[in-house]
Amino acid sequence: MTSASMKVEGQVIGSETVGENLDEVNDMMKHTALDEAAGDTQEDENKENIITPDSSLDSSTENDESNSIRQEEGGASQDNKCPASIPEEEELNKKGTTDDSNQEEEADQDAAETDCVSGFNQSASQSQHSASTVQTKTTKQLLIDAREYKPSDQTINDENYDLVTENTEIKISVPPPPPDVPPPESKASSGRSKMTQQQQTLMIESGKLLEHLRKEVYKLRKQNAQLKNDFRNLQDNNQRLMDANSSLGETFGTLNKHAKQVSKTNARLKKELQSTKDQFDRERLEHQNQVDILQMQQLELKDELTMKQETYIEEVHERLHLQKVMTRIVDTVQERCRDHRLVEDILAMSDECEF
């Protein structure tokens, strides 16, 4: 269970305690109203006993009877918070039975009635104040409970906690309504009607408070559900991002290994290229040297060839000259010699010289 749900349950429990306290206050108000109604009946009986007589003897006897009745009912009137009965007894004992005294008694009776009504109003205001104090105590208890249920996950539940504290502080800061003071001419019936009206207003206010708390609980539950959905969505997004991060980490690792291998092969190829360049330079120099040597040999061969050609030409010229001489010798021999055998031998020798 999350802290926000615990807080909402605390608010619901606080609202139930507020309803129970308001029921107790209503019961107290009913009891006080019944006690004050009994006091009003006793005051009516006192009024009937305080009627002015026609003669002094009747008035004195009735005053004695009223004094005795008032002495018997003094305890009950003091318990019902009507302190004007004691001054009435003293004034009735001191004053005479004349018409002036009767008028003064009527004025005192009116004053006593106003005092009783004021006492009734004071008791009603005290009961209302006690109800408001109970309400403030319950709201303070709600505030304490709300403060005790501080959320652990601050990123999600701070907003709910602030709303609850603000609502409770606003309820505490609202002062109780001032008691309506009736005019001195109001009677006990108006006081009872006022009491019932105050009870109704208290019940209406308590109903409004409960309705407001229900609305707040509904709002907080709705916000809590929305926050839960947002939290689930964030968890899903976080999981997807974590999976993507892990897959990207693996791919980056493989790419890093491949890049290292490529860099190693590149360095090896650079070394091989440099070695091949050096070897090619060496071979090129060797080839250049060989070409130079061959060129020198070619020049030497050309020189030798020219020399041989010259010697061959000389030899050819000499041979041609010899052939010419030989042909001239053969011709001369054929012309001048008559020996045919000699001529044939010379011709055979010339033929051998030609081969």
Tokens representing 341 are 């055998």
- pLDDT tens by residue, 18-32: 445 455 555 655 555
User: Residues 6 or more apart from 15 whose CB is under 8 A from it?
Assistant: 209, 210, 213, 214, 217
| Residue-level pLDDT at 171 | 52
Picking from 150, 148, 141, 149, the residue whose alpha carbon sits closest to that of residue 168 is 141
The per-residue pLDDT for 127 is: 54
Q: Is the pTM of this model over 0.85?
A: no
| Cα 239 to chain centroid, rounded | 17
Helix (H) or strand (E) holding 150: none
Q: What is the pLDDT of residues 192-236, one digit of tens each?
A: 676 788 888 888 888 889 999 999 999 999 999 999 999 999 999
> CA 212: distance to chain centroid?
27
The DSSP secondary structure of 38-92, one letter per residue, reads: HHHHHHHHHHHHTPPPSSHHHHHHHHHHHHHHHHHTHHHHHHTT-TTHHHHHHHH
Give the position of tokens 């250049």: 288
CB 31 within 8 A of CB 177: no
Read off the pLDDT of each residue in 295-319 and give the average, rounded to a whole number: 93
Q: Which two tokens stand for residue 314?
A: 């000389």
Confirm if 171 and 143 have CB atoms less than 8 A apart: no
Which backbone phi and psi does 68 adopt, to 5 degrees?
A: -65, -40
**H or E element in which residue 95 lies:** none
The single residue listed with the structure tokens 């009783």 is 116
**Given this model, what pLDDT does residue 12 score?**
40
The helix-helix angle for 188-336 and 154-173 (nearest 10°) equals 160
Domain ranges of the chain: 3-241
pLDDT in tens, 86-137: 444 455 555 455 556 566 666 666 666 566 556 555 655 565 555 555 455 5
Q: What is the distance between the alpha carbons of residues 138 and 17, in angstroms, rounded to a whole number?
A: 7
* Distance of alpha carbon 257 from alpha carbon 254, whole angstroms: 5
How far is 152 from 329, CA to CA, in rounded Å? 147
DSSP state letters, 301-349: HHHHHHHHHHHHHHHHHHHHHHHHHHHHHHHHHHHH---HHHHHHHHHH
Q: CA 58 → CA 80, 90, 98, 102, 103, distances in Å?
A: 30, 19, 11, 13, 16
Listing DSSP states for 231-285 in one string gives: HHHHHHHHHHHHHHHHHHHHHHHHHHHHHHHHHHHHHHHHHHHHHHHHHHHHHHH
The model's confidence at residue 148, banded by pLDDT at 50, 70 and 90, is low
pLDDT at 294 over 50: yes
Distance, in Å, from the CA atom of 333 to the CA atom of 49, rounded to the nearest integer, reads 222
Q: Which residue has the higher pLDDT, 327 or 27?
A: 327
Q: Which of 176, 131, 166 is nearest to 146 (CA)?
A: 166
